[in-house]
Amino acid sequence: MIYNVSYGYEKNLPEEVRSKMTETYPEYKITNTANVKQSNRDIWVINLESDKSIMIVRFEDGDVGEINSYKKLM
């Protein structure tokens, strides 16, 4: 199994992915990204942050799925 992982920020996301994230999670800001390429797969793992929580989501082939979410301690 060979794969390539690239790390970045919102500016590194393709426009399709960025638009989907801001449309789906308007109250969150994109903080960090990771792009995993394996065979014919192109997977984005995206960290989102709001005032009250942090969420990690996955984007592949137009589909968005929540991996995990954490409440911030205030």
Tokens 């970045």 -> residue = 8
- Report the alpha-carbon distance of residue 61 to residue 74 in Å, rounded: 36
| The pLDDT of residue 13 | 96
Token code pair at residue 71: 């409440």
Say yes or no to pLDDT of 73 above 80: yes
Q: What percent of the chain has pLDDT over 70?
A: 100
pLDDT one-digit tens code per residue, 28-56: 999 999 999 998 899 999 999 999 999 99
**Mean pLDDT confidence for 7-36:** 96
* Single pTM value for the model: 0.90
**So what CATH class is 3-63?**
alpha beta
Positive or negative CA dihedral for 3, 39, 19, 66?
A: negative
Domain ranges of the chain: 3-63
